[in-house]
Amino acid sequence: MSIGSLLLVNAAHPYRLQGPGPALTALEPESSVLLCQPAARALARLLDAVGGRQALVPVSGWRSHREQSLLYAQSVEENGPAFTAQYVAKPGCSEHETGLAIDMGLRLPEIDFIRPSFPDEGVCRAFRRQGARFGFILRYPQGKEAVTGIAWEPWHFRYVGTPHAQIMEERGLVLEEYIDFLRSFARQAPFQCRQQGRLVSIFHWPGSQPPEDLDLQAWEIASTNAGGWICTRVEP
């Protein structure tokens, strides 16, 4: 069972940490930038695939609740509340607290921690276009501000895993829309598609507890943090 990969965290759905929190790993030796382990492994493969090890740098990954609180307060003081509301989530409402979000930037002498440079060209474009294949989505795309509540952030990527990232990209859905889309597919009539020639079946399970009779060798069950669970099966 996967608790985290499809967690929806925003102003309407705060992150409620249960237990010890995500298992984190450093992205580089002696790096202070951390991600949950599946996301860190996928990011490493993505960087290798686009040849981005030298040109790109992970700017910000997991943040504790305290770190997010300090960042929010600092931004309000330095940039004002209007700017902060666009680019910095309130404490408890930031994906960074889950260990599933990563801000990427070009490796420059000076890097803006809140808005790192990530242009739509070169290796940055390759990273963005290849991301879904490794489970990453551009979390706050242009034109979806009214849905996400966050301004366009071309540097902010979110690990949702495969095949979800590919489906979201193909349908032009952000995470809020994707979870709403899946609500209409029940266990008796799941959403189905093919990814890389393999049949994918996905359904939404309402309620506070996941289904107890699914074969966990075949199905992955992920909490949404928005009421219910997403159950996914990819044929062998």
Residues assigned a catalytic role: 153
- H-helix or E-strand containing 194? strand 191-195
Which residue's structure tokens are 């890097």? 111
Query: How far apart, in Å, do the first and last CA atoms of the chain sit?
Result: 18
State whether the Cα torsion 43-1-11-174 is positive or negative: positive
Query: Parallel, antiparallel, or unpaired for β 24-26 and 34-36?
Result: antiparallel
Q: How far is CA 28 from the centre of its chain?
A: 20
Q: How far is CA 127 from CA 22, 75, 174, 212, in A?
A: 25, 28, 18, 38
Query: Parallel, antiparallel, or unpaired for β 56-60 and 101-106?
Result: antiparallel
The CA distance from 158 to 160, in Å, is 6
The CA distance from 105 to 16, in Å, is 28
- Reduce the secondary structure of 171-188 to three states and give it as a string: HCCCHHHHHHHHCCCCCC
